[in-house]
Structure 1
């Protein structure tokens, strides 16, 4: 049977994200996963001290994840990915509990925010490809009752998402409109990734 992925070793995803893994497998790639073990908030603090904007921060986080795993497996092609949510001058992160989730939805309600999704490919402990894509999502105005109903229906899974929503699931009900590629919203821009992998000679198609 013909193969799409040409290297002898599978792509190594520096993440345990089920969503990113599903995106890659659905695109026909051969993938293994490994947690990067990067202190994201420490990386962000350093990036802010350098004055990096949200897209550059997403790129830095993706690169640090790729590099952390690439140093452990220098012979492998490693993919790091990350996503930064920015609304005006504020940046948002995953939250710890339902009350924090409610506050975040209140802050995003009725506004447009940007999801900056970045990827980095590393080989031998160095980044060889890096890319960022942005999606703009307009959240509809939400009443307190709507927020509580959404949190009841969505359950604790929303705590694992930077925007307190899974756009591919119940989160779609929160929005009036979106601009951007679906995979970018999910946290891994596939088209730039596939272009990068072709440049590296990793894809037969």
Structure 2
């Protein structure tokens, strides 16, 4: 059985996330998806696997955990799990808890280059059938406390939902001097490798 979205046909797909941004990327690409939020505690998963993991490895583990958590609800369906981590100078940086925490994190990232690691996993009937990771390197300009204060006031609460406190497609672009990496990786879902794999497996017919 296939679903149809415009001129694109594909087997059923579920995104193991309630992220509007990730779902929006898939739908904008012409995919019809179902979303299902994974019931996992990311910090507990991180604590269980240890604190010495690279950001790329942690993102992959979390993406796998999300897809595996949702998979029992959907037989004969491809489940997409996605996650993103931010690392800088050996530290994994999590989402800010509040405005004050966001200001503190942005000022610490000011003038530094951090790495976004994005991971995708596809699970089918409990088995991981594909996985992918990619990285982007983001160099922030030197930010003044005054600018950071204005930025936080102008972008909350959306900035609190992003691991780096920014959406590059919005005012977050003002934070950076240079960027080295794929746009979709920065948004947290490496779209082109996923689409290529779906086509190669005849899951997506286009």
> TM class, shorter-chain normalised?
over 0.9
Instruction: Give 1:3 deviation, angstroms.
Output: 3.5
> How far apart are residue 200 of structure 1 and its match?
2.5
Give, in whole Å, the separation in 2 of the partners of 1:47 and 1:201. Answer: 35
Instruction: For residue 46 of structure 1, report the CA deviation from its aligned partner.
Output: 1.9
- Residue aligning to 2:159: 158
Q: Which residue of 2 aligns with 1:27?
A: 29
Between 1:40-49 and 1:174-183, the stretch displaced more is: 40-49
Matches within 5 A, 1:77-116: 77-116=78-117
- Structure 1: distance between partners of 2:199 and 2:43: 32
Greater shift in the superposed pair: 190-199 or 171-180: 190-199
What's the counterpart of residue 63 of structure 2?
62
Corresponding position of 2:19: 17
Q: Which residue of 2 aligns with 1:132?
A: 133
Partner of 2:122: 121
**Which residue does 1:6 correspond to in 2?**
10
Q: Give the superposed CA RMSD.
A: 1.4
Answering whether residue 181 of structure 2 is matched by residue 177 of structure 1, we say: no
Deviation at 1:75, TM superposition (A): 2.0
Q: Distance in 1 between matches of 2:90 and 2:118?
A: 17
CA deviation profile, 1:17-51 (whole Å, cap 9, x unmatched): 010011101111111101011111111112226x4
Given that 1:94 and 1:164 are in contact with CA atoms closer than 8 Å, whether structure 2 keeps it comes out as yes
**Aligned-residue offset at 1:99:** 0.5
Q: What CA distance in whole angstroms lies between the structure 1 residues aligned with 2:125 and 2:200?
A: 17
Structure 2: stretches of 5+ with no match in the other structure: none
Quote how far apart the aligned CAs of 1:96 are: 1.4
Distance 1:179 1:34 in 2: 32
Contact 1:120 1:130 in 2 (8 A): yes
> SS state of the match for residue 5, structure 1?
strand
| Contact 1:3/1:204 (<8 A) preserved | no
Q: Give 2:194's aligned residue.
A: 193
1:45 maps to what in 2?
A: 47
Q: How many residues align?
A: 202
**What is the TM-score of this pair, normalised by structure 1?**
0.94
Q: TM-score, normalised by structure 2?
A: 0.94
